[in-house]
Amino acid sequence: MVCCPMGRIDKGVSCSVSGCAEKAVRSVSSNLVERAKLRVEDSRHIYLCQTHYRELKKKTRKDQDIQRMRWNAES
């Protein structure tokens, strides 16, 4: 049972990518968006719609794989 929207995404914030007006589905840190080189407004939290979130995942996949291999090598 949902009584009232709690977060900004539930309240209907729009995507932070310049030129996009779709409803946001995820919030990510600005550091992650900087690595993906998406054009966004300067903020601590970046709100992304479904299409831009997929683009972010595709662009940062190699970095995540490298970090995962590094973590597995240390243990």
Spatial CA neighbour of 22 closest among 44, 59, 48, 57: 48
The SS3 call for residue 24 is coil
| Pairwise CA distance, residues 43 & 4, whole Å | 26
The one-letter amino acid code at 4 reads: C
Average pLDDT over residues 7-28: 88
- The percent of residues in the chain predicted with pLDDT above 70, rounded, is 92
Amino acid at 25: V
pLDDT of amino acid 62: 82
pLDDT at position 70: 77
User: Domain segments of the chain: what residues?
Assistant: 8-74
What are the start-end ranges of the H helices in the chain? 8-11, 30-36, 50-74
Note the pLDDT of residue 32: 84
Say whether pTM exceeds 0.85: no
